[in-house]
Structure formats: C-alpha cells, structure tokens
C-alpha cells in the first residue's frame, strides 16, 4: 500500500519496524533513518528475509530540518513515523510541513536545553497560566494545527501505549459504555524483573526526567500539582499481583482533559519498587539527574547523559526480563442515568515479547501502537488535515488492530476503584 520513513532505531523503533515488516500489505516499503546508520543497517539485517517489505536505511540528524527535508524528498514516504526523542518533534514536524507528508509520533515535544532563555520564558509563563511545571506540554505541537490543515496533512500525536492506547481506551469507553465519563485513572504497572539493581525500561534521560518531576492531576477544570512521589496507592493488578504505585504528571492528561467532555478528574499512576526509588533519589541527590552542562576536567558533560552511558541499554533488558505489564484505565461515569464503572486494560508478558521480536514488553507495548497509528493514517481511516491526538478519531478500528497485532485488551465491568 505505501511507504513509511521511520526516524530512530532504538528500543521502540526496533519493535515498530518489525511490526510494520509483519504487516507488509500496508507497509510495502520501510526506510529506517537515524544518526548512526550502522544501527539502522543492523535492524534491516535482522528483518530482511522474513518480510515482503522492501527495507532501506539512511543517515539523518533529525535536529536539522534541511537534512530531514532532503531525506524526505529522496525517500518520498507517504508518512513519517517519529521514533527518535521528544526533542526532535518540532524539527520533524517542520520537515513534514515543508514536504507535505503526514507526521506521527509517540511522545510530546520536550526541550533538550531547558536553560535556553527563550524557551524558559515561554515555559515559565505556561507554568503560571496552566498550573503544572512539567517540561513538556502539547502547546508546541498543537500550534501546528492551522499549518497542517492548510497543507492538507495529518499530524497524529502520541500513538504509543501511554499516551496512545490509554487515550484510545478513553474514546472507546465514551463511545460504547458511557454518556458521560466523570473520572479516569490511568494505571501503568510493570511487574517485570530484569535482575539489575537499577536500570530504566526506556531511554533513561526521558524516563528519569519524567519520574523525578512533580506529579499532577486534573480536577474540576484545573491542574493540582504534587511533590514527586507524594501520592502513593496500592493496587492488585490482574496478571501481576499487588504493587505500590505513585501519581505522576503524564502528557495524556492534558489532551484528555480537553477532549473528553465533562470529565471531572484524571489521574495517572505508575508502579515503582522501593529499590528503584531509593536509587533514583540517591542519583538525584548527588546531581546525576542534572540536565545542565558541567565542566569536568576541561570537558563539558551533562550528568544525566553521562549516567545514560553507565546504565544498561534498555534494548539489552529483553532476554533478562521476566514477568508482565498491565496498563489500562479505570473509568467512572453515567450511562442511561445510572452510575457505571469499567476498567479496560492489556496484560503483556515480557518473555513472550522477547520471543516474538527480541525486546521486552515496554518497547513492545509502545512499538505495536506506533505501527497501528501509522497504519490508521496510511489506510485513510484516521486521516484528516490538522494536528490531532489519538482520542480525536474513531477508536473501533484501532481497538480491533490491538487485538490482531499482539496487544489484546479486556473490559472488566466491576473493577476495584483507586481511592
């Protein structure tokens, strides 16, 4: 059917590319590009031979719009799937605008240099106006809506698991189970064990920045901010068992608050073990999570980037990780005048993922929805000019595709609620 250009060849991209290759009726050509073409070539070598799709590779620095534009003009893809880092979202969107190609990603824009004075001024104004202090928000990408519309291209934001599947679950709940949703609790549980004292399941820089930041939730039309890890709950997860979980700020809260009419409260919880939290606090206390530049023996280093070099590569966790993830949303609201509650979730087994694609479940649960969102745009099922979040579209074909492509979901109509 068409050609996808995938930027990035890390943990998530590795899964998305294999899933596109499995789905060669839709993706008959796949170009993989990043700064290190040898990594893209290694992925190509792994997949070629087991797919009908034609696979090519290219070198690109996605911080550079001109390089991206030249690559897009050369490759001529139908869609660009951005699986680099959130730092590259805007440059890739700029290149898509210039070349008139649809854009898809899994994480909203975050500035790499949070000390940049121009960015800082906009950020501080937003903190005051909106009431949350996370370094990322949707305003930067939503601002492309009119330009994408004028160009006649689709921008699909956040088609990973969370954001992504959790937002599609919300649209599905609203379409089939509720007249009005009042509360959404998004629960992200990783019951996996990789055997290392400390490692992150995806890019350490992005992961540690997210987890060490203030928490926040949406309530009655405004944000309520908490200290990091201030709100703790315990929940008994199907397939995993009881786990401690902590309230975090998370990007889909912002888009769901805008797109789910009448919603009164949205919270996001993620599970962490005590050992992980103790390691992280210690690293933070000694300055290893700092994102600014430090002079060390005449060399400029960014501590969190140095830490990344020391930690296990998330892509190497696959063979060692055992256990399951359980990610989903608990909804309460009303249907036909009666109160109702449901829980939609997916359970994913780390070792099953490893057997299928050679990755653990965190990359799998993000890479599969990245392929599905891209397929929705390629097939024209989710295609309209402008910039959209996944809950803006009909959830049904996406929900069917989750069952078909490895992330089956269940609906529990009598869940235990989170206090």
Residues whose CB is less than 8 angstroms from the CB of residue 368 and which lie 6 or more positions away in sequence, other chains included: 15, 16, 19, 402, 405, 406, 407
Binding track over 13-52 against ligand NDP, x by CB under 6 A:
x--------------------xxx--x-------------
- The single-letter DSSP state of residue 292 is S
Shorter beta-carbon distance to ligand NDP: residue 177 or 409: 409
In the complex, minimum distance from the CB of residue 308 to ligand NDP, in angstroms, rounded to a whole number: 8
Q: Tell me which DSSP letter residue 316 carries.
A: G
Q: Please report whether residue 61 would count as binding ligand NDP according to CB under 6 A.
A: yes
Pairing of strands 27-34, 2-7: parallel
- CB within 8 A of 234, min separation 6: which ones? 242, 243, 244, 245
Nearest to 343 by CA among 212, 198, 185: 185
Residue of 109, 136, 148, 161 that binds ligand NDP (CB under 6 A): 161
Binding residue for ligand NDP, selected from 19, 43, 53, 86, defined by CB under 6 A: 86
Q: Which lies closer to ligand NDP via its Cβ, residue 39 or residue 194?
A: 39
From 111, 45, 5, select the one nearest 16 (Cα to Cα): 5
The single residue listed with the structure tokens 């290149």 is 95
**Does 92 interact with ligand NDP (rule: CB under 6 A)?**
no
Q: Check binding of 84 to ligand NDP (CB under 6 A).
A: yes
Give the per-residue contact string, 230-269, with ligand NDP (x = CB under 6 A; - = no). Answer: ----------------------------------------
Using the rule CB under 6 A, is 108 a contact of ligand NDP? Answer: no
Q: Among 6, 30, 60, 256, which residue sits at the site for ligand NDP (rule: CB under 6 A)?
A: 60
**Alpha carbons 323 and 151: distance in angstroms, whole number:** 46
Q: How far is the CB of 47 from ligand NDP (least distance, A)?
A: 15
227-235's contacts with Cβ under 8 Å and 24+ in sequence apart are 229/272, 229/277, 233/269, 233/418, 233/419, 235/187, 235/189, 235/269, 235/416, 235/418
H or E stretch covering 187: strand 180-190
Q: Which window, 2-10, 141-149, 335-343, 399-407, contacts ligand NDP (CB under 6 A)? A: 2-10
Using CB under 6 A, list all residues that contact ligand NDP: 7-13, 34-36, 39, 60-63, 83-86, 88, 106-107, 160-164, 202-203, 206, 314, 366
């Amino acid at each position: 059917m068409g050609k996808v250009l995938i930027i990035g060849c890390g943990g998530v991209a590795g899964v998305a590319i294999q899933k596109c290759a499995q789905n060669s009726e839709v993706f008959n050509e796949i170009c993989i590009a990043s700064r290190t073409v040898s990594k893209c070539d290694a992925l190509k070598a792994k997949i070629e031979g087991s797919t009908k799709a034609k696979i090519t590779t290219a070198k690109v620095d996605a911080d550079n719009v001109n390089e991206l534009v030249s690559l897009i003009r050369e490759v001529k893809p139908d869609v660009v799937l951005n699986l680099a880092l959130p730092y590259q979202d805007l440059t890739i969107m700029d290149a898509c605008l210039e070349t008139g190609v649809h854009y898809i990603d899994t994480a909203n824009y975050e500035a790499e240099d949070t000390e940049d004075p121009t960015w800082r001024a906009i950020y501080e104004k937003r903190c005051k106006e909106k009431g949350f202090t996370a370094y990322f928000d949707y305003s930067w990408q939503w601002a492309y809506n009119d330009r994408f519309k004028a160009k006649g291209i689709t921008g699909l934001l956040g088609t990973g698991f969370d954001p992504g599947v959790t937002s599609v679950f919300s649209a599905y709940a609203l379409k089939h189970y509720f007249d009005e949703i009042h509360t959404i609790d998004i629960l992200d549980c990783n019951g996996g064990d990789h055997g290392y004292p400390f490692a992150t399941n995806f890019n350490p820089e992005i992961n540690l920045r997210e987890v060490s930041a203030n928490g926040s939730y949406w309530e009655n039309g405004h944000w309520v901010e908490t200290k990091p890890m201030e709100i703790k709950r315990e929940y008994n997860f199907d397939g995993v068992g009881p786990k401690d979980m902590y309230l975090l700020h998370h990007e889909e809260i912002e888009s769901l608050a805008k797109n789910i009419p009448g919603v009164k409260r949205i919270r996001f919880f993620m599970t962490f073990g005590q050992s992980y939290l103790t390691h992280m606090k210690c690293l933070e206390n000694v300055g290893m999570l700092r994102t600014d530049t430090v002079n060390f023996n005449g060399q400029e280093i960014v501590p969190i980037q140095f830490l990344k070099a020391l930690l296990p590569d998330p892509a190497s966790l696959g063979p060692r990780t055992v256990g399951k993830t359980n990610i989903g949303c608990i909804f309460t609201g009303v249907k036909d005048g009666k109160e109702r509650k449901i829980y939609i979730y997916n359970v994913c087994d780390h070792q099953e993922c490893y057997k299928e694609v050679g990755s653990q479940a965190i990359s799998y649960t993000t890479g599969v929805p990245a392929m599905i969102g891209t397929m929705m745009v390629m097939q024209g099922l989710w295609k309209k000019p402008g910039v959209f979040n996944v809950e803006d579209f009909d959830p049904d074909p996406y929900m069917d595709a989750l069952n078909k492509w490895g992330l089956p979901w269940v609906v529990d109509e009598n869940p235990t609620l989170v206090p």
